Chain A
Amino acid sequence: MVANVKDKAVIVGVHNTQFSKNSGVSELNLAAQAVKGAIDDAGLKPTDIDGFATFTMDANDEIEVARAVGTGDMTFWGRSHYGGGAATGSLHQAVMAVSTGMAECVAVFRALNGRSGHRFSAGVSEGVMTADIIHWGWYMPYGLLTPASWVAMFTQRWMHNTGVTKDALFEVAHQTRQYAVNNPNAFFHERPFDRAEYDAARMICDPLQLFDCCQESDGASCVIVTTPERARDLKQPGVAVRGVAQAAAADQEQMTSFYRDEFAAIPEMEIAARNCYEMADLTPDDIDAAVIYDAFSPIVLWQIEAWNFCGAGESGDFVLDGALRPDGRLPCNTHGGQLSEAYIHGVNGIVEATKLVRGTSLNQPEKAVNHALVTSGVGIPTGGALLGKLD
């Protein structure tokens, strides 16, 4: 049975703060800016907000954000776990709250000083994930300490199994860079690169090189979710959540599901995809553009397969045919992605997917975008959402 939330919650406001390598302000400051910006974009008042959804990893208390922004009374707050797996997970929380009437206007936000504060690339040695310490203990003593190292282990095997080469990884990285060139808020604004520069960059964890890895950024993003009724009276064209799903598959670990019969796979995303399509009554053919979580270049390829845009092992050819480009089958990560815009844990991706459906992306494809996909991080319990125009 798949939950019936189709078109019962609508994204009406979005906002990104300025992204940088050193915000010089607190994470609460960033969160407040993002929430206020999204409220303004929607044409709402702060006091209209009665719920919040964010990541368990977010350092901001909802009540502190509420007081900072002056949102008044609150009837819902919910958090989603598992790092970047919570990107559409927090949207999922908001949709459940709005569609059941637990809240009417929920702010989904993520705010982090991910470069000037704690850096994910520093690995798990700094004690940020104390609840998972037994789990990480199976890997830390060997030096397998960082997100890049865990993803590298999957990538090496996946490339071995499928024969996909770095040509495809480069295409993913290069295309986000091309989009970022046009985005003033992107780290790589007006800084294109070529294959030689990509190949010359330092090796991080074989086979992942520097430009296969996302930014580390300071910034915040927010989207406001409300009911269809309310949405119709607001400033922006509503972007309905057609489907949203989360999933963890059997034998799941956080980033290290190395004990499955074939571990170079993301079965959890396949479950989320299946449930989303069913909920939305859509097929891959209906999806015009996508924002696919890109903490690392290869994970985009795996998700293209999980969402059935091509067959298993065919994602390399799919992207090398130009599918991710502006005139391609699936223009993807048109904001520059987390590889080239900023790493805001995927919530900047929800902002971009909303803009794609509104028709206001800085790299808006020429074709009509009736439906856009947005996904969460992989290697962890994850999820995704399908967005479409509010009827």
Chain B
Amino acid sequence: MNADELQAFEDEIYAFVGQEVYPPTPAPDDVNMPMIRQWAEIMGDTNPAYLDADWAANSSRGRTIAPPAMMYAWGQEGFQVTKGRSPNAQSNLVALFNKHGYTGVLGTNVKQEYFKEVSPGDNVTIQMVIDNISERKTTSRGTGYFFETLSTFTDQHGDVIGTQRFKVLKFIPQEQPAAAASADGGLEVPTRIASVRGPDNGWWWDAVDEGKVLIQRCKSCQTLRHPPRPMCGECQSMEWDSIESTLKGEVLSYTCVRYPHVPGYPKDPICAVIKLAEGTNLVANVVGCEYEDVSIGMQVTGKVEQVDEKTTLPQFYPA
């Protein structure tokens, strides 16, 4: 698209700002108990404000209410959308984006505000407009435009019960997303990133799998060393054996890794450098307490534990 074509395209999309997607349209059904009950069952919501007329009668509201998050549901178009939606300003705008290569779609933000609670017997009217369209932006998904719809919900008295702002990115897809599913279509639950096992370290991890933390020892001068290496830095001997650690130790330093959260890991893992009673240092997790409870100099005791489907690691607890 050259500069003139881009200008023409943008003129065309920005003309949609302010257009009505839905004129004020009353919901086909009033707010009603069967839909509320079904919604609450599926959401696992046992809130008596929605479900228990006796409780509600004695509550400060004096009546049951509909779950606020159902606000948008009352006026939804219904089953006919499986055969396609009837054209409106939003679908026309989307079609225009698609025609120019902005085929990617991503809902990025949704905000509902509630001003008045509604109860069975009330009726909700929805009105939706295209509120704004951003300038052209480059995002990690690709180049495109954000457009935002504003829906306003009123009841049968004309009172505004709430609003919804929904922001969508229409973009030129950069590349196909990586295949998210394994070959049979099932999902693979991520696990911690495994340590690669080579000739010099594999035996150490194999021992962890067996529930033991070993410390490499020079057969010639008895010096302990960790992480394992093929030669003793003290006497250059290549002969070694190992001892099993008692997993008693002291925290030399620690941190809580809060960002980024990597799939397969617990949230906010605490990692520490631990001086083992045998004298070598080991990096491992501290678990069984809050970050605030960890300190330098703290005594810890380790256990070798399976931490996910595929990973076994030493984990240290406050002693």
Contact = CB atoms under 8 A, between A and B. Distances in A.
Interface string A208-224: 00000000000000000
B296 A258 contact: no
Contacts of A390: none
A143 B260 contact: no
Interface in A131-170: 133-135, 137-146, 148-149, 152-154, 156-157, 160
Nearest to B313: A141
Nearest to A22: B138
Contact of A141 (B195, B253, B254): B195
14 contacts: A121-B259, A133-B196, A138-B283, A139-B283, A142-B283, A143-B266, A144-B271, A144-B283, A146-B260, A160-B296, A202-B258, A205-B256, A258-B273, A259-B281
B260 A153 contact: no
A137 B260 CA distance: 18
Contacts of B252: 157, 258, 263
Contact of B273 (A121, A122, A134, A153): A153
Among the interface residues A141, A156, A204, which one has the most CB atoms of the partner chain B within 10 A? A141
B258 A143 contact: no
Contacts, number: 116
B169 to A, nearest CB: 15
Given A123-B260, A203-B256, 17 more contacts: A22-B138, A116-B140, A122-B260, A134-B200, A134-B201, A138-B283, A140-B194, A142-B192, A142-B285, A143-B269, A143-B271, A144-B257, A146-B260, A148-B259, A153-B271, A202-B259, A206-B255
Interface string B132-149: 000000101000000000
A40 to B, nearest CB: 29
Interface in A89-117: 116
Interface in B254-277: 254-260, 262, 265-266, 269, 271, 273
B65 to A, nearest CB: 36
A125 interface: yes
A256 interface: yes
In the A-B complex, the 8 residue pairs with the smallest Cβ-Cβ separation, listed nearest first, are A137-B195, A157-B253, A152-B255, A143-B269, A144-B271, A140-B193, A258-B273, A133-B196
Among the interface residues A121, A154, A204, which one has the most CB atoms of the partner chain B within 10 A? A204
A138 B195 contact: yes
A134 B138 contact: no
Nearest to A135: B227
A206 B273 contact: no
Interface residues of B, number: 38
Contacts of B205: 137
A24 interface: yes
B296 A205 contact: no
Given A142-B284, A156-B254, A137 B196 contact: yes
A200 to B, nearest CB: 15
B196 A156 contact: no
Interface of B: 138, 140, 192-198, 200-201, 205, 226-227, 252-260, 262, 265-266, 269, 271, 273, 280-281, 283-285, 291, 296, 311, 313
Contacts of B281: 258-259, 263
A374 interface: no
A31 B221 CA distance: 52
Interface in A229-267: 256, 258-259, 263-264
Given A22-B138, A134-B196, A143 B253 contact: no
Contact of A259 (B254, B269, B280): B280
Contact of B283 (A202, A203, A205, A258): A258
A141 B266 CA distance: 11
A204 B273 contact: no
A141 B312 CA distance: 9
B257 A149 contact: yes
Nearest to B269: A143
A141 B193 contact: yes
A148 B195 CA distance: 20
Given A142-B313, A206-B291, A258-B281, A157 B271 contact: no
B291 A143 contact: no
A281 B169 CA distance: 60
A154 B283 CA distance: 13
B193 A149 contact: no
Contact of A264 (B253, B254, B257): B253
B80 to A, nearest CB: 42
Nearest to B140: A116
A206 B313 contact: no
A336 to B, nearest CB: 23
A146 to B, nearest CB: 7
Nearest to B204: A138
A215 to B, nearest CB: 15
B191 to A, nearest CB: 9
Among the interface residues B138, B226, B255, B273, which one has the most CB atoms of the partner chain A within 10 A? B255
A121 B253 contact: no
A263 to B, nearest CB: 7
A123 B205 CA distance: 22
Nearest to A160: B296
A213 to B, nearest CB: 9
